[in-house]
Amino acid sequence: MHILMATSEAVPFAKTGGLADVCGALPVELRRLGHQVSLIMPAYRHIHASGQRIHPTDVRFSIPIGNKTVTGGLLQSTLPDSDVPVYFVSQDEYFDRAELYREDGVDYIDNSERFVFFCRAVIEAIELLDLEVDVLHANDWPTGLIPAYLKTEYAGVPPYEQIASLLTIHNLAYQGQFWHWDMLLTGLDWKYFNWHQMEFYGNLNLMKTGIVFADAITTVSPQYAEEIQSAPLGCGLEGVLQSRRDVLSGVINGVDYRVWDPSVDSHIAAQFSPETVGEGKPACKTALQQTLGLPTVADVPLIGFIGRLADQKGLDLIVGMIHHWPASQPAQFALLGTGDPHYHETLTRLAAEQPERIAVRLEFSNALAHQMEAGLDMFLMPSRYEPCGLNQLYSLRYGTVPIVHATGGLLDTVTNSTEETLADGTATGFQIFDYSVNALDEATQRACALYHQPSRWRALMETGMKQDWSWARSAAQYASLYERIAARRRQQTIGSRR
């Protein structure tokens, strides 16, 4: 099969979130399974800092955007350590900018026009590059128009008529909503601007468009696929998702164990495996304490957080718990990330008041993130909602026991520690089922109590470390889905010709 993956970002070329990690890793794993895979994304200014060689092609195209025609072209590269081709849609007025979607906290005013152009360019590139595509895999709202074009303007047109479309929803909170007159930019007939298809409370909604027109829809975890079919996580689209539940499924994101594995990690003080975690992890913990300026004590749990400092990530619970943590229960806390100014101020103050107990780094450091995953004893991830999540998967691999809110991918990937699951060797972490400071405090206290039972804690760590959340696992599920929707699309095409 030939899969063309369309995305607005992919590592190492451009990234704002987990979407980039998926689109940088999944194509490589699909290629290893024997599929032809190509990736296409905008030619942002950022791509030239990726370290990958990027070269021009002779492909040029003219795209109708409203009442004007915009020209563009394609650049080409490959994903690292692979032969997977990456095509970049080049149009400097749209994409040669300081950031991907917004600048100084404000969305680019022409985002609708930019991604209408991108979606049309993806369609044009298929024929111009002579790609024999079986499945076009779109990702999030910036690619939401692609399934619509395939089902409308390109319906019955070779080579497009047999292309099946898949839309993956990475985060439904971001939907690509624009004023209704932007419908003119799409070139699609106004008849599609209705509440069943592209219209959403008077606006054009590109995520809804993709959901309605795609042959199949996935999210990044089975639990999130269920949650978005009702309020509040449906974000207003729960009705349309319910109407398409027969083609909606969830596939857990994978982890690149070439990068996130303590047995090969070059960022950490001592490499270790499940068999050597008892020696390697304490060395990493001591090194982390020294780096963060915390007392180097071995028998006090070191509890941490890495990520965006925002309510969605559960920072209100984490800060509340730290505020009320009893002095009689020794523990150290380490937090790494940036986000809301309110949390910057609060955490800075807490660290200044209790420097022997709390360390805060208001930055993003890839090296320190690896060192924290290796050196922490527990990882806090009480997100309000979490489509999939990656840090809990990293933590499992590094023997850092995750404490999570039972939502989305966190519920799917972390098995709660109870007397039963600890006894049968299936426990991997701790879950809270009530989004509250008290619930997080209680779960963390339970974790600390188990931490002081070394043999049981070691068993818990080893169980988590042996879990397989690799991209190979996820890619096999996607490949199976591609086969099904491509076969269904071929049958529909044959039927329409009779």
Dump the DSSP string for 220-268.
SSHHHHHHTTSTTTTTT-HHHHHHTGGGEEE----B-TTTS-TTT-TTS
Reduced to 3 states (helix: H, G, I; strand: E, B; else coil), residue 67 is: coil
Check residue 497 and give its pLDDT.
Answer: 63
**Quick one: which H or E segment has residue 88?**
strand 85-90
The residues of the chain scoring below 50 in pLDDT are none
* Residue 216: φ, ψ to 5°: -150, 160
pTM over 0.95: no
Q: Which pLDDT tens digit goes with each residue over 432-453? A: 999 999 999 999 999 999 999 9
Check residue 105 and give its pLDDT.
Answer: 82
What the chain holds in terms of domains, given with CATH numbers, is: 2-254+472-497 (3.40.50.2000), 277-468 (3.40.50.2000)
**Cα separations in angstroms, 336 against 261, 333, 365, 446:** 20, 10, 8, 24
Check residue 493 and give its pLDDT.
Answer: 79
Alpha-carbon span 360 to 336, nearest angstrom: 6
Check residue 104 and give its pLDDT.
Answer: 85
Percentages helix, strand, coil for the chain (3-state, rounded to 5) are 45, 20, 35
